[in-house]
Amino acid sequence: MTEVDPALLSLLVCPMSKLPLRYDRDAQELVNDALGIAYPIRDGVPIMLAEEARRFSPEDHGR
* Contacting residues toward another protein, per CB under 8 A: 2, 5, 7-8, 11-16, 18, 20, 39, 42-52
| DSSP three-state, residue 31 | strand
The minimum distance between CB 49 and another protein, in angstroms, equals: 6
Q: Is the dihedral of CA 3, 50, 53, 60 positive or negative?
A: positive
CB of 3 to another protein, least distance (A): 10
Name the minimum Å distance from CB 59 to another protein.
24
Q: Which is nearer to another protein, 51 or 59 (CB)?
A: 51
CB atoms within 10 A of CB 60: 9
